[in-house]
């Protein structure tokens, strides 16, 4: 009897883990699509750090949370803030502000990676600032996130949990059928 209870609880735990994993991955995919390619949770975007320019403050391969900024917030940043900005059309960079210059039209930020020898070549226009870093980092998880966004990663992180869920459901159904067969065979024969 005790073994059956343990098996029942194990069944519930495995089912719950697989379901949560499947829903979590599906939620991340939907969030990514709705945010235009970047996962966003409660106004924070999740970014993967691909270089060592901010080490040791932010390690290569880390996931970081950055807060998206409105146009007023973009103009009110100060030295020592860590920002994520558009360096080119398809390249985001996260570096520290080391100097702020106000012009008649805009604000210019001089930035530098903590691990770099000198400031970045071009100042950053306030309009090109995307977000500010809020100090939340998960080391090494960025490697997994980058892989998850690749075609092979999508297959592993989206299709595999679904297949595991289907396989586990099939296994559970087969066990229930087997149990019904055993119960059917153990019934006393009708003697009419």
Whether 111 maps to a domain, the answer reads yes
**Domain containing residue 9:** 1-37+141-172
Contacts of 120 (CB under 8 A, 6+ apart): 87, 93, 95, 110, 111, 112, 113
The pLDDT, as a whole number, for residue 36 is 58
* Together in a domain, 94 and 155: no
Active-site residue flag, 51: yes
Whether 179 maps to a domain, the answer reads no
Catalytic residue, chosen from 15, 31, 51, 154, is 51
Number of domains in the chain: 2
Whether 189 maps to a domain, the answer reads no
Beta-carbon neighbour count of residue 126 at 10 Å? 23
* Together in a domain, 9 and 20: yes
Whether 103 maps to a domain, the answer reads yes
Evaluate if pTM is beyond 0.85: no
- How many CA within 13 A on the CB side of residue 181? 6
Whether 99 maps to a domain, the answer reads yes
The pLDDT, as a whole number, for residue 95 is 92
The pLDDT, as a whole number, for residue 28 is 65
Stretches where the chain sits below pLDDT 50 are none
Whether 185 maps to a domain, the answer reads no
* Together in a domain, 17 and 43: no
Angle between helix 160-185 and helix 2-34 axes, rounded to 10 deg: 150
The pLDDT, as a whole number, for residue 187 is 67
* Together in a domain, 130 and 51: yes
The pLDDT, as a whole number, for residue 32 is 60
The pLDDT, as a whole number, for residue 3 is 72
Alpha carbon 182 to chain centroid distance?
46
* Together in a domain, 18 and 52: no
* Together in a domain, 145 and 161: yes
* Together in a domain, 27 and 56: no
């Amino acid at each position: 009897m005790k073994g059956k209870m343990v098996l029942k609880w194990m069944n519930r735990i495995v089912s719950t883990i697989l379901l949560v994993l499947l829903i979590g991955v599906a939620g991340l995919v939907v969030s990514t699509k709705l945010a235009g390619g970047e996962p966003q949770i409660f106004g924070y975007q999740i970014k993967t750090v691909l270089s060592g320019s901010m080490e040791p403050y932010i390690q290569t391969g880390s996931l970081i949370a950055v807060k998206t900024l409105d146009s007023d917030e973009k103009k009110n940043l100060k030295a020592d803030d860590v920002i994520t900005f558009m360096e080119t059309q398809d390249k985001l960079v996260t570096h520290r502000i080391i100097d702020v210059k106000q012009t008649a039209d805009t604000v210019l930020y001089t930035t530098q990676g903590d691990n770099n020898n000198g400031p970045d070549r071009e100042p950053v226009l306030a309009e090109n600032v995307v977000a500010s870093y809020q100090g939340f980092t998960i080391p090494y998880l960025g490697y997994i996130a980058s892989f998850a966004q690749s075609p092979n990663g999508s297959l592993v992180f989206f299709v595999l949990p679904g297949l595991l869920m289907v396989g586990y459901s099939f296994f559970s159904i087969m066990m229930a059928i087997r149990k019904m067969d055993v119960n059917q065979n153990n019934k006393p024969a009708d003697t009419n």
